[in-house]
């Protein structure tokens, strides 16, 4: 093996596959982020307002997901569900697993956000003649959602990072793609360099974008 | 009644549970113990050094923190397990030490960030009082500042413990026989025909058991972290 470290040659040779991998990572991440946002808002509201039954079920969901490793959850969905007759393809497992994981953390994020909205704001909503749902949509969600924004965005960044675990089910996202190329070409160091750089660019870029967004969405009186 | 209990614990479950508890669990606990210890020591050291206003050390430690907090832990595991041996053959680690090393890199970055905040929150008077007693920078931090900062560090350290226990399952990805990998091996064994297995699939029960084990370990610790957090606030 000619062990000459040549990053550019490696990228020039393999950029198509790597790009496909990155696209798959982004695809899975976007679906999971959107899904976990919906789960977080709905179940977070159910928790904050103590909606009977739903609130208790949501609490169990949150505790189970937060207190077990995501890798075990992925194994459960991919290797164990087929025993019950539920067979999902790798792509579905990929977004479903990180969505379920992110949704649990987001439920806590949004619950805390909604609970931080002072009761007098909601009273003001009712005084204006809004019903319960209208008050939630027009008062609690815009304010509590912004309070929950920083923590929920940290969850989304973790969701992106956790898509790398889909290596274990062979879904061809970025990590699987890079390791497969490394096994094929033996250019391990080049593959790992690209892998690390792309993830750092994604994560750092996302964090920087978020700080901008946070400033833009900050609640005026809390600025 | 006894029939129901027997149905709950079928014949195949005995050897499976034994293997998971006697081979998998100790490995998971060993990885977690070494990783938490290493991450705490290195993290507190780096976090304290980060409070020194000197650009070179600040840039280096900041870079370390941002890189290892930014990378997915699995990628760090691959960097250690595949990348280091490619750099030099002497840097070849088995799956368990490689996982420990990767978790230390990630965990120490987390602890360093928390330590910076905790050490920074100790009022300046404490530094001055310690300096007045004749302590140099090292003595001041070792005997006065860091011990006080530890109180504030306790909740994040308990959370770190939970995260490290859960992320120790990454060892399974590179072939370390931890809780998860031992469960996977037993699940596969049962699918073989006798004498090795019984030709049946019991993945739901076995992975469910692993989930339960992790839950029983993690749940009290997350409660403890939340309690410590509240008591501090």
- A127, part of any domain: yes
Tokens representing A194 are 């690209």
Closest residue of B to A204, CA-based?
A: B70
- Distance separating alpha carbons of residues B135 and A171, to the nearest angstrom: 57
> CA angle, corner A16, sides to A18 and A75, nearest 5?
35
Tell me how close the Cα of B56 comes to any Cα of chain A, in angstroms: 21
Q: What is the pLDDT of residue A217?
A: 79
Say if residues A44 and A50 touch (Cβ distance below 8 Å): no
Domain formed by B13-232, architecture: Orthogonal Bundle (1.10)
- A129, part of any domain: yes
**Cα–Cα distances in angstroms (integers) from residue B188 to residues A172, B181, B182, B197, B201, in the given order:** 24, 11, 10, 8, 8
Task: Give A105's contacts (C-beta < 8 A, 6+ positions apart).
Answer: A36, A40, A62, A65, A66, A155, A158
Provide the residue ranges of all domains of chain B, joining segments of one domain with +: 13-232
Query: What ipTM does this complex have?
Result: 0.91
Residue with tokens 């070409």: A185
Chain B hits for A188, CB-CB cut-off 8 Å, are 82-83, 86
Residue with tokens 């280096």: B60
Tokens representing B130 are 């310690």
Say if residues A144 and A117 touch (Cβ distance below 8 Å): yes
Contacts A–B by Cβ distance under 8 A = 111
- A223, part of any domain: no
Q: Check which CATH number belongs to the domain holding A207 and give it.
A: 1.10.3720.10
Quick one: what percent of chain B has pLDDT higher than 70?
A: 96
**pLDDT tens, N- to C-terminus, chain A (223 residues):** 456 788 888 888 889 899 999 999 999 999 999 999 999 999 999 999 999 999 999 999 999 999 999 999 999 999 999 888 899 999 999 999 999 999 999 999 999 999 999 999 989 999 999 988 899 999 999 999 999 988 999 999 999 999 999 999 999 999 999 999 999 888 899 999 999 999 999 999 999 988 888 888 777 665 4
- Distance separating alpha carbons of residues B114 and B91, to the nearest angstrom: 30
Mean pLDDT of the B149-157 span: 90
CB neighbour burial string for A45-56, b if at least 16 within 10 angstroms, e if fewer: bbbbbeeeeebe
Tell me how close the Cα of A120 comes to any Cα of chain B, in angstroms: 24
Residue A53's domain comprises 7-218
Cα within 13 Å of Cα(A98), Cβ side: 27
- Distance separating alpha carbons of residues A4 and A2, to the nearest angstrom: 6
Total residues belonging to chain A: 223
Q: Domain count of chain A?
A: 1
Question: What is the model's pTM?
Answer: 0.91
Tell me how close the Cα of B123 comes to any Cα of chain A, in angstroms: 26
- Distance separating alpha carbons of residues B103 and B97, to the nearest angstrom: 10
Interchain CB contact of B175 with A (< 8 Å): no
Task: Give B126's contacts (C-beta < 8 A, 6+ positions apart).
Answer: B144, B145, B148
Helix (H, G, I), strand (E, B) or coil at B10: coil
- A1, part of any domain: no
Say if residues B173 and B139 touch (Cβ distance below 8 Å): no
- Identify from B85, B203, B205, B220 which residue to disrupt to test chain A contact, counting A C-beta atoms within 10 A and taking the largest count: B203
Closest CB to A196 among B66, B79, B170: B79
* Stronger pLDDT, B22 or B7, i.e. the higher one: B22
Instruction: Please name which of B173, B181, B176 lies closest in space to residue B76, comparing C-alpha atoms.
Output: B173
- Distance separating alpha carbons of residues B197 and B214, to the nearest angstrom: 26
Instruction: Please name which of B32, B95, B102, B38 lies closest in space to residue B67, comparing C-alpha atoms.
Output: B102
- Distance separating alpha carbons of residues A139 and A77, to the nearest angstrom: 38
Interchain CB contact of B66 with A (< 8 Å): yes
Say if residues B146 and B100 touch (Cβ distance below 8 Å): no
Rounded to 10 degrees, what is the CA torsion of B162, B210, A155, A51?
-100
Cα within 13 Å of Cα(A9), Cβ side: 6
Positions of E strands within B14-142: none
Confidence at B1, pLDDT banded by 50, 70, 90: very low
Cβ distance of B82 and A192 shorter than 8 Å: yes
Cβ distance of A189 and B86 shorter than 8 Å: yes
């Amino acid at each position: 093996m000619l062990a000459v470290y040549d990053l550019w040659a490696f990228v020039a040779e393999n950029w198509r596959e790597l790009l496909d991998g990155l696209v798959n990572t982004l695809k899975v991440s976007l679906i999971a982020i959107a899904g976990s946002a919906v789960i977080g808002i709905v179940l977070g509201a159910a928790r904050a307002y103590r909606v009977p039954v739903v609130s208790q079920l949501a609490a169990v969901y949150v505790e189970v997901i937060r207190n077990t490793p995501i890798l075990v959850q992925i194994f459960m969905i991919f290797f164990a569900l087929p025993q019950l007759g539920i067979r999902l393809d790798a792509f579905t497992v990929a977004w479903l697993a990180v969505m379920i994981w992110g949704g649990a953390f987001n439920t806590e994020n949004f619950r805390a956000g909604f609970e931080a909205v002072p009761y007098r704001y909601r009273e003001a909503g009712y005084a204006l003649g809004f019903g319960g749902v209208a008050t939630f949509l027009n008062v609690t969600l815009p304010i509590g959602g912004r309070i929950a924004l920083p923590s929920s965005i940290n969850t989304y960044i973790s969701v992106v990072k956790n898509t790398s675990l889909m290596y274990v089910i062979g879904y061809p996202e970025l990590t699987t793609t890079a390791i497969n190329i490394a096994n094929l070409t033996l250019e391990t160091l080049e593959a790992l360099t690209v892998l690390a750089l792309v993830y750092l660019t994604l994560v750092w870029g996302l964090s920087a974008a978020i700080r901008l967004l946070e400033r833009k969405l900050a609640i005026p009186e809390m600025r | 009644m006894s029939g129901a209990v027997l149905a709950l614990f079928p014949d195949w479950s005995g050897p499976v549970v034994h293997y998971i508890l006697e081979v998998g669990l100790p490995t998971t606990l060993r990885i977690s113990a070494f990783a938490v210890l290493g991450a705490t020591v290195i993290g507190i050291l780096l976090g304290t050094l980060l409070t020194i206003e000197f650009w070179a050390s600040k840039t280096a430690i900041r870079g370390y923190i941002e890189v290892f907090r930014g990378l997915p832990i699995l990628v760090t595991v691959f960097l250690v397990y595949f990348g280091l041996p490619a750099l030099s053959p002497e840097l070849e680690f088995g799956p368990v030490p490689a996982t420990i090393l990767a978790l230390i890199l990630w965990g120490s970055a987390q602890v360093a960030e928390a330590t910076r905040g905790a050490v920074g929150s100790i009022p300046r008077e404490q530094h001055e009082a310690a300096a007045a007693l004749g302590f140099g920078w090292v003595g001041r931090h070792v005997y006065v500042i860091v011990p006080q900062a530890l109180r504030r560090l306790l909740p994040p350290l308990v959370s770190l413990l939970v995260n490290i226990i859960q992320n120790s399952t990454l060892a399974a990805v590179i072939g370390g026989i931890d809780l998860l990998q031992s469960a996977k091996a037993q699940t596969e064994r049962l699918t073989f025909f006798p004498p090795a297995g019984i030709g049946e699939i019991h993945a739901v029960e076995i992975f469910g058991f692993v989930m339960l084990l992790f839950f029983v370990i993690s749940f009290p610790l997350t409660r403890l972290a939340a309690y410590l957090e509240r008591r501090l606030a």
